[in-house]
Amino acid sequence: MLFAESGGRRLEAPRTTLDALLADPAALASTRQNLERRLAAGEGEPAADGGLLPPVLRPGKIVAIGLNYLDHCREFGTEPPTSPIVFPKLTSSLCGHGAAVRWNPEVTKEVDWEVELAVIVGRRLAHATPREAMAGVFGYTVLNDVTARDVQRAETQWLRAKGIDTFCPMGPVAVTADEVPDPQGLALRSRVNGTTMQDSTTFEMIFSVAELLAGLSRSFTLEPGDVLATGTPLGVGAFRDPPIFLQDGDVMEMEIEGIGVLRNRCSTEPTNEETT
């Protein structure tokens, strides 16, 4: 079962994705076909930013995990962590499928992509076991953990590097948990201007979805609508030789098996010198 919002309005129901499905899953039984038809036809794109709103518009928390793929640790040149590296993504950084990812070159000149499986929490989780945690999953979507690498290097924590406005594209749809029987067996890829950059599977995760949710729930309560970004695999731009960073006009495509393709175009903002 899939859902997204388009052009500032819902495709099917007047409430959030999560509220609607928790209240009456059968009411959205036709959403997948309806949405796929509209996406294929290019319908529902607003004139300004285009595309769809993220599947969860106002998550209480976006919790992200760093260095959670063995292959990414190898390219990062570090030993796999013995416990999850946890950081927040700001809700103000959210944008949806088709929206522009924007940045000011005076803030960052080294913008990178990261395809990630995102987990949408559907039930309050506190001190949960792995089994309880998985039973509390509403569904999954694609997330692009866009990162300002120069800012990340310069600062001891990652909040600003990962929290710039529009640096958290999510979508194009949410897939309910019943459609993903094993979140540790999904192929995921990223492309920039049609060239494949990342090509891996969630089997490479160091800490599984169940382990992450259960472990986090022992420190803080996870609420319905919260989002967990589970990390990215090998193939980001910063660790290529030579490094590759995103440029104005580049098109990013983040794809996860069984969910879809999240597509966003890059756009740099005018600098102070250009506006004077």
Write the pLDDT tens digit of every residue in 88-121. Answer: 999 999 999 999 999 999 999 999 999 999 999 9
In a domain? residue 167: yes
In a domain? residue 179: yes
Strand ranges, E, within the chain = 2-3, 5-6, 9-10, 52-53, 62-66, 85-88, 94-95, 100-103, 111-112, 115-121, 137-144, 147-148, 168-176, 187-192, 195-201, 227-229, 251-256, 260-268
Confirm if 246 and 264 have CB atoms less than 8 A apart: no
Strand ranges, E, within 82-167 = 85-88, 94-95, 100-103, 111-112, 115-121, 137-144, 147-148
Expressed as residue numbers, the domain containing 142 is 53-275
In a domain? residue 15: no
CATH code (residue 122): 3.90.850.10
pLDDT for 33-76, tens place per residue?
Answer: 444 444 454 443 332 455 788 988 889 999 999 999 998 888 87
In a domain? residue 151: yes
Alpha helices in 97-195 (DSSP H): 130-135, 149-154, 159-163
pLDDT at res. 16? 46
In a domain? residue 73: yes
pLDDT for 160-193, tens place per residue?
Answer: 999 999 999 999 989 999 999 999 999 999 999 9
In a domain? residue 171: yes
Nearest to 206 by CA among 91, 106, 113, 67: 67
Task: Name the domain count of the chain.
Answer: 1
In a domain? residue 92: yes
In a domain? residue 31: no
